[in-house]
Chain A
């Protein structure tokens, strides 16, 4: 599963990065890489079975005090 993810993320990077490097859009490349890396790390954590924080549930608990 993780290998498949790496392949997917690799393809995305291969499609996006060369164009950005050619145009020398470094700022765009940095923004892309930061978000891409965040996606990659979170996906791998998800694939290996780590329980990620449930954003909506947490917001619900913060607002209603005792859980959504």
Chain B
């Protein structure tokens, strides 16, 4: 019995992935540790993510109608396969909780100052749970509208900020040491560009049997270049002050003031942050619930949605002590922490599958 009967097109996959890449990164810029060279680091990060995506897409192309949990079962056997799948599901769950933490902390400190974080979290998780329970098709259709709006808002914000920019803020170019630049690039790749590895839970539901790499590469390029544009805009507008602010994108848009008429655009940033965080949490939430039900051989993932959502809220509320700790984790620890999931599991699975000459003919299309 199929756990998910919906199918999405390659275009919908691309759009969903762009929304996923935007995620929290529209607020927490990638490659912040590179200072005003962040845009270069971000571009290198996109290149690294394209390389990582090539590996997990090669795996998805080998097993076209299987999620990573089913692939692990086939490649490593039932017991080891389920163990590796559980480790993979932990990544989806933990990243989702991290996104929710960033989301709730942003809204609790910038917009809803008197609202408890629990209320904000219950609100977004309830919407995500409702979408996830309706399946991948509904999620993909949501992304078509929301991503288009988000891209339009990003372009609008960048154009309106042009009068506030100062090109001197980007100079001197490549001031930071190469090691630091590459670290910032890797941190941008691991959060958010290569997090698209979560889509190994979704590739199986793409109706077109053609290769998976092209839509993924297009999504990483659109998402990556849009975010790079934001990073460069933040540096151009805020200059050295960028590193002081917790949410530079929000501050940079707050500076927009054209003839005292067009101003206070920061709420628009908050709105598109809701869109993209919703898409990202939903994809990760869907992956967690579906993956867990595949590991446990359940007939539906729907009974797990509410309890998984509740656990996500609890972890999001308790996983860090302060925002400083959270951002320090994302910049300094996450690039190392994510390596087993970004490189390890997909690459080892691909190599073992090749060595065992899987999938064998008859069962799967190669």
Instruction: List A residues at the B interface (Cβ < 8 Å).
Output: 12, 15-16, 20, 25, 27-29, 31-32, 35-36, 38-39, 42-43, 46, 52-57, 59-60, 63-64, 68
Contacts and interface: CB of A to CB of B under 8 A. Distances in A.
A55 B304 contact: no
Interface stretch (B6-14, B251-259, B306-314): B306-314
B165 interface: no
A56 B320 contact: yes
A39 B329 CA distance: 25
Given A15-B306, A31-B292, A60-B329, 9 more contacts: A20-B303, A25-B300, A27-B299, A31-B303, A32-B304, A39-B311, A56-B319, A57-B320, A64-B333
B163 to A, nearest CB: 39
Interface residues on B, range: 20 to 34
Contact of B328 (A28, A35, A42, A68): A68
A4 B325 CA distance: 31
B308 to A, nearest CB: 6
A42 B307 CA distance: 12
Interface string B261-304: 00000000000000000000000000000001100111110011
B318 A52 contact: yes
Contacts of B303: 16, 20, 25, 28-29, 31-32
B332 A68 contact: yes
A20 B304 CA distance: 12
Given A59-B333, A64-B332, A31 B314 contact: no
A35 B307 contact: yes
B94 A55 contact: yes
